[in-house]
Amino acid sequence: MRVIADPEDPQGSTGSAYVLTPRELDKFERSNVNNVLRSVPGVYTREETGEGVFPRISIRASSSGRSDRISVLEDGVPAAMAPYANTSAYYFPNIGRMSSVEVLKGPEVLLHGPHTTSGVVNLISTPIPDSAQGQLKAELASFDTRKLHAHYGATAGQWGFGLETYQNRGDGFHEIDRSQLGAGHDIDEYVGKLRWSSAPDARYSQQLDLKLQYAEETARVSYLGLTDADFRANPDRRYGLSELERMDRGRKGASLQHQIGFTDRTWLTTTAYLLDTYRYYDRLNQVNGVNLGGITDIINGGAADAALLQGILDGTTDTTHPNGVRYGHNHQAFVSKGLKMELEHGFATGDVQHTLTTGLRYHEDTTKNVDKGRSNSYYAQIDGDLVYLRTDFVAPQRGDADAWSAWAADRIEFGRWSLLPIVRHERIRTRANLAGDATPEQIAARSRNSIDKTTAGFGANYAVDANWTLLGGVHQGFAPPGNGSPQGTRGEESTNFEGGVRYRNGGFGVDAIGFHTDYRNAMRTCLVANPCSGGVVDGTEQTGAKEVYGLELGLFAALYDNGAISVPLRLAYTWTDGEYTRDSDTGGVLRGDVIEYTPRNIGQLQLGVEGAAGWNAYAALSYSDGAWTTNTAGRAGEDNTYQRTQSLFTVDFAAAYPLSPGAEVYARVDNVLDERRITHRGADGARGNAPRSYGLGLRLRF
């Protein structure tokens, strides 16, 4: 299910809307969603692992956490582990198996939710083909990376099907001290689809789609970065203490969608979905009594015990604290399920055309820890080796959330105008800490929250002529705070304004849109990877208010085309500014503080050469300013030396050549100039982008 009706129609959306087509995704054959989304204005991505394992996607300076303030969908279905109970994207659908990507901002995000303060990213999976056909992509790349993506499907009469697998494994570019283990990943995904359509002469046109998914992944990642000195010496290094860190995650999913057309302009779509996701993460969280988040700060600043901690990281010094090196076991399982019904009805009142959309969704989230409640394991470091000490256990934990959502919008078209009034309501009930031996009365008294929130928006287009369109909109945004929030927590709230111009003329198009977002009640999800004030890593924190404003510019053009050779160009650029405008309740954020992880300038320029015979070559030039890593940077007396990322300019190159009508070979060089910079500081230490890498692949269509 799509969220953008027709991206080529300048009147098709009242807000900012971008679609990355299958052709756009094929250009560079990327498997890192951060690299893909750099080509969309208004979207900020931040590399943590260098391989996109933990996407940090922000739209218009929303939260700097794990993509926890955007709505992530796959085929229109919420894709987060638990979009109401636990919003962080520790699971993200693999971009390598997607056929296209939609990014939507503006008032129309109220049709989707539950996160409407910034925008929607909808990932479109491989569709069932109209006829029997398939494709196989096989790639070998640097760091012993091997990728295979294959799908086949057919439609015959009233039935259609699709089968797909995506396999990706590699050793990664990091090198772990004193270890033979790689720092890479293993991904296995399988998708099956089945479709039934009504007969052409049926009274009502109907379609029933079943989608089944199974995925599992291992990522040998770490929350421990490097000191700045060690990063400068070797950005590919990982300390030996990170050898035991590992993320295992996976998903089983099913969705069933029914569409029925009562008339050509009246359609009812009903979707039921069930997603069962696990995330098992063994991670370093303390070294010699110092919690993660302060280790490299001590060494960078030359504080007491700096030499001792550096020696422990290097493996030349034994631990002296009784806890030695502590590893946490964050093993969680999430079940997300729901039922959504949406009715679209077109009608006319005189010369005014209406398309009325109304929808209702019921959604449930359940979260719990698993693996017998293991909490932490402790090791001593002796002569550079880790020696097991003990393991702690904790009581089981469980939380849940249930939500009713309802929305209504009317697309009104008359003359040169297109108007869209829209309203959405969320009724959310959350509970946390439910498991254990407590009595029903004790459980009832535990952490719970209730939210009833109505938001509204209005968008407008004016067609100046066949090419030029003026657009503008305003909407109230909302994002749920999660199931660990106490009673009375309101969630994040914002008022979003945008306005601009859209131009389309054949192969040339421009979108220039200014935006202003007033976050009246900004929130931060507290994680080990994104701690709140005082190092808190659970629940949420109210962070006062902030204002963000900026300009998005998108452009595509054919610079040259003589029938035999064409030269396409694409540009995505975003300028952003803003600050916190009100103190937080805890005092961790003060009025005038900077907005963390929001670069002032980001952009990508793509330039290509395409031959009529099917060969092509493309270069992508990407730039991002450095950004503050904490809101306290810039305060009087604050030492900002280690509170900023570095600006980064990279060049990527890709080319493809047809061997036959159904086969082509492609090659890719990422980060041609081998530029290495600090792109992230957290959970502890400097992290950077990937080095220069190469890929060679084959695409077969049959």
pLDDT at 487: 82
Alpha helices in 315-351 (DSSP H): none
Q: Which of 44-58, 204-218, 361-375 has the highest mean pLDDT?
A: 204-218
Q: Tokens 């250009």 correspond to what residue? A: 27
Residues in the chain, overall count = 702
pLDDT at 443: 58
Give the tens place of pLDDT for each residue, 522-546: 877 776 666 666 666 666 777 789 9
For residue 191, pLDDT beyond 50: yes
Query: Cβ distance 289 to 325 under 8 Å?
Result: no
For residue 375, pLDDT beyond 90: no
Round to whole Å and give the CA distance between 59 and 45.
Answer: 9
Amino acid at 212: L
What is the band of 396 on the pLDDT scale with cuts at 50, 70, 90?
confident
pLDDT at 371: 62
Give the tens place of pLDDT for each residue, 247-290: 999 999 999 999 999 999 999 999 999 999 999 999 999 999 99
For residue 222, pLDDT beyond 50: yes
For all residues of the chain together, what is the average pLDDT?
A: 92
Query: Cβ distance 404 to 419 under 8 Å?
Result: no
pLDDT at 158: 97
> What mean pLDDT comes out for the span 563-591?
93
Give the tens place of pLDDT for each residue, 141-155: 999 999 999 999 999
pLDDT at 151: 98
* Segment holding 559, helix H or strand E: strand 545-561
Helices and strands, number each (H, E), in the chain = 6, 38
Burial environment of residue 90 by CB neighbours within 10 A (0 to 12, 13 to 18, 19 or more): buried
Is 146 strand, coil or helix?
strand
Q: Could you tell me which residues come within 8 angstroms of residue 562 by beta carbon, excluding any fewer than 6 positions away?
A: none
Query: Cβ distance 327 to 377 under 8 Å?
Result: yes
pLDDT at 442: 47
| 544 half-sphere exposure, CB direction, 13 A CA radius | 22
Q: Tokens 């910034």 correspond to what residue? A: 118
Give the tens place of pLDDT for each residue, 110-119: 999 899 999 9
Residue 384 backbone dihedrals phi, psi, to 5 degrees = 85, 0
Please give the DSSP secondary-structure letter assigned to residue 24: H
C-beta neighbour count of 606 within 10 angstroms: 21
Q: CA of 334: how far to CAs of 10, 249, 349, 525, in Å? A: 40, 11, 47, 17
For residue 314, pLDDT beyond 90: yes
Fold classified for 133-701: Maltoporin; Chain A (2.40.170)
For residue 441, pLDDT beyond 70: no
Query: Cβ distance 438 to 445 under 8 Å?
Result: no
Query: Cβ distance 628 to 634 under 8 Å?
Result: yes
Query: Cβ distance 674 to 689 under 8 Å?
Result: no
Q: Which of 40-49, 364-373, 505-514, 670-679 has the lowest mean pLDDT?
A: 364-373
Q: Could you tell me which residues come within 8 angstroms of residue 403 by beta carbon, excluding any fewer than 6 positions away?
A: 84, 114, 361, 362, 363, 364, 426, 427, 428, 429, 480
Is 107 strand, coil or helix?
helix
> What mean pLDDT comes out for the span 363-374?
82
What is the band of 13 on the pLDDT scale with cuts at 50, 70, 90?
confident
pLDDT at 3: 86
Residue 74, both tokens: 């796959």
Q: Tokens 């086949």 correspond to what residue? A: 152
Amino acid at 132: A
Higher pLDDT, 481 or 169: 169
> What mean pLDDT comes out for the span 204-208?
97
Give the tens place of pLDDT for each residue, 45-96: 989 889 988 888 999 888 767 788 899 999 999 999 999 988 776 788 999 9
Is 4 strand, coil or helix?
coil
Whether the CA torsion 629, 634, 635, 641 is positive or negative: it is: positive
Q: Could you tell me which residues come within 8 angstroms of residue 29 by beta carbon, excluding any fewer than 6 positions away?
A: 137, 139, 654, 666, 668, 695, 697
Q: Tokens 């636990």 correspond to what residue? A: 86
Burial environment of residue 336 by CB neighbours within 10 A (0 to 12, 13 to 18, 19 or more): buried
The closest of 106, 7, 10 to 469, measured between CA atoms, is 10
Cα end-to-end span (Å), the chain: 26
The pairing of beta strand 159-170 with beta strand 145-156: antiparallel
